[in-house]
Structure formats: structure tokens, C-alpha cells
Structure 1
């Protein structure tokens, strides 16, 4: 079980440098993670992926995706946030850990093929769509009592597939698994009993589903898309 992520500002050399200048991180002291499902929600550039990447690094997961057994690093873009934070946790040493990040999944799938590990995923991930591969990851690779980090999984998923993901995550949580997700999807944000953080210019704040800016925006758009689009075009 994850307990919290603590910031150790005394170890930060330049608070004005990235990623410490991101508002959600600049105001970070301690982030409660003690829930079966934790969600990071916010606009592009708010720090969602940076936070989840730091947690993955603390757990020993490969920064470009995979379990601690993967060691490839093609871009060397891991931020230094994990070096100045402390992850408070209570996790058995043999707990399965895995980091999925949408922007690097093609690289991960290539490494899985190179290592001849396709059998663990129900087939070669390059021979299926990205969305199908994500479902194989959830159905074939993830299991009970594991700890799984997902960075924007909805990037590859049709709405109906996102509903399948919700059902599978709930099933795994009922079996003892734990999840941390960064997402823009109002569907995934509805995962039951999730601890939700919305990252804004004011920092990271706990929110209910109905309070989320993404949810309010989608509701307004779907209620009257013509009016919203017309207003956008008139502003141009």
C-alpha cells in the first residue's frame, strides 16, 4: 500500500527550475496516496505525468514503462523529482509493479518483442491496435495484489473500451490490486471510491468527481455542442 509522497525541499538546489516551478509541485509538501485508486487530473503541463513518473521511479519501475525487470532507456528524460521526494509505502517485496505510459508504449512493446515476452501478454503487442494492447496488458499481465501506474491510458481507448478498463480495474482492486492513474478522461475519473487530485495553478487539491473542471467542461459541451463551438469560433 502506498501511504504518501513527501517533498524534501531542503534537497532542491534550484526551486525555480523544472519540475519544481510547476504550480502543483511548487506547493507540494506531502501527498496522501492511501487509497486503492489514486487519480491525478489536470490540464496539459500541470505535472500529472511528472508526479506519476516519480512514483514509478521510487518503485523501481523503468521510467519509459514496464516492471523493474525492464532496463531500457531511449530518451533519458526522467525528471529529478524522485531524488528530492520520499515515497512512504508498505508494500511486500514481491508485489508486482508495472508502469504504463501512453507516450512510450510503442517502445515498451518493441522491448517486449525483443525479449520474447509476448506470451505474458497474450500475444505480440505490435500485432494489435494500441487500445487492444492496453486491454491485453490489463487482462493478461496485471493481476491481484499488484501495484500499477497508468499514465493517460485513455490516449489509445475508444469510449466503450474505457468502460471495459473501468470494469477490469474495479475487478483487480476487489482482488487486492492498487492503481495510480494520470488521466484526462471523464470516464476514467468516475472510477469508484477513487482519491482524486486536481492539479491547477493553486496546487494539487482533493476533489469530488462533480467538482472536476474536466467533468464540468464535458457536461457543458455535450449539453449544447453547437453553442460551445459557435462561441469558440466567434472568439477567433
Structure 2
């Protein structure tokens, strides 16, 4: 893709980086990323997998390598409280698109309340003021932020945005992601939600013990497990109750 214009064309190991026996290199998906690299398609790419499979680690590292704050926000945000991010970002090299936009935003579910405080302490100098996010419910604040901030063409990284959302709110996020893709933005999203991952025309990468593999929504273990559970929850509940 020599003339691709999306913000990030490829993610690979930086020059001189070798795969080690230390975490997070020991995660199969990270090992594959550093060994083989990963081409990112235009539009929306989902990373789907179990806890600990590496999807959030990868999204966080790509966001940081792009120049976004590890605790969330736009390319200009510099929120820092307690560093918990992995060192993976320093091992990555991003290949940018020709003339691609430099704007971006990282939505990280676990640090959003800290980000709301950051916005209160660093109010906008132009345009309408931000909503009083701390006065909204968890889900309402997420939707308000996404609707308000996901407007510029650029690169958007989301780490499990569904954690605060109901079914109907998750559908609303699908609409926002579709709008971003149609307007020329690029999205990398780690998710456990079969609702969000069902976005038509999205690229789906399933991460696990095998590393990273491209798949379709119907073949995701996540989707198959949810279908089986909803059809007969007692088959699963008898093992935990």
C-alpha cells in the first residue's frame, strides 16, 4: 500500500528490536506483531479475544506510538497519574499514510474518570464548554464524550468502550464508528462486545494462544459462546452455581 492515506498503514517492530522472553513479548499476539508486523486496513479494525490475550496491550501501545496519552484523550492531552502501561510502545514503529491526518483520540475505559477531571482542569479555550461528565452516569458520560470528541478525521483507538454501555448505547457506538469510517477516519478497537464487533465491513482480528488471525463475526468464539449461552444458560450456570 505505497500510497495508502489512512493514518496508520502498518505496525511492526522498531529497528533493532528483537523478541525477548519477557512480558509482554511472551504474549502470542504481541510476539506475532513484533515478528511479522501487522497491516492496518482503512476504516474500523476490531481486536477480539479473552482477557489476557493481548488486545488491550496492543491497542494501548499503538495509541502511544501514535503520540496519544496512555491514559486517554486527544493528541494534545497529557494526563498522567499512575503509570501502568506496558513498555511495548517503545518497541513499535508505525508506518504512516501519505498525507494522513495527525489528529487522534484514545478512549481507555479504565481511566476515563481521571480524564474527565483532566478536562475540568484544562477547559477548552474555544468552542462550547465540555459537559459536566462527572455529573452524568457512567454510560451517559461515555456516549457524550464519544459524540462530542469523535468528530475530526484521524486515528481513534478504543479499549473496551462497551464496559459502561447498555445494549442500546452499544448500538449507538456502532453508529459513531460507522460514521468515522465513512468520513475517512481509522479506528482500532479492542472489544468483548458481539454487538459492537458486528459493525458491517469492519476488519476483525481474533487474538489468543494462536497469536492474531483474521476472521469474520460469525466465526468468533465470542459470538458462538454468547449464542450458546443465550439459548441455554443453564448449561453454563450449573458449573458455577
TM superposition score normalised by structure 2? 0.89
| Aligned partner of 2:66 among 45, 59, 76 | 59
**What's the CA shift for 1:10?**
4.1
**What's the CA shift for 1:228?**
2.5
Higher helix share: 1
* Structure 2 unaligned residues grouped into runs of 5+: 1-5
| Aligned partner of 1:15 among 9, 17, 20 | 20
* Structure 1 unaligned residues grouped into runs of 5+: none
Instruction: Quote the Cα distance in structure 2 between the aligned partners of 1:48 and 1:62.
Output: 18
Conserved? CA contact 1:121–1:141, under 8 Å? no
Instruction: Quote the Cα distance in structure 2 between the aligned partners of 1:94 and 1:27.
Output: 28
| Aligned partner of 2:10 among 4, 11, 14 | 4
Equivalence for 2:84: 77
| Aligned partner of 2:173 among 119, 144, 165 | 165
What number of residue pairs does the alignment pair up? Answer: 232
**What's the CA shift for 1:175?**
1.9
| Aligned partner of 2:185 among 133, 155, 177 | 177
Conserved? CA contact 2:69–2:79, under 8 Å? yes
Conserved? CA contact 2:75–2:103, under 8 Å? no
Secondary structure at the counterpart of residue 213 of structure 2: strand
Secondary structure at the counterpart of residue 27 of structure 1: helix
Conserved? CA contact 2:72–2:105, under 8 Å? yes
Distance 1:93 1:206, change over 3 A: closer
**What's the CA shift for 1:57?**
1.0
Query: Which stretches of structure 1, 4 residues or longer, exceed 3 Å deviation after superposition?
Result: 91-95, 117-122
TM superposition score normalised by structure 1? 0.91
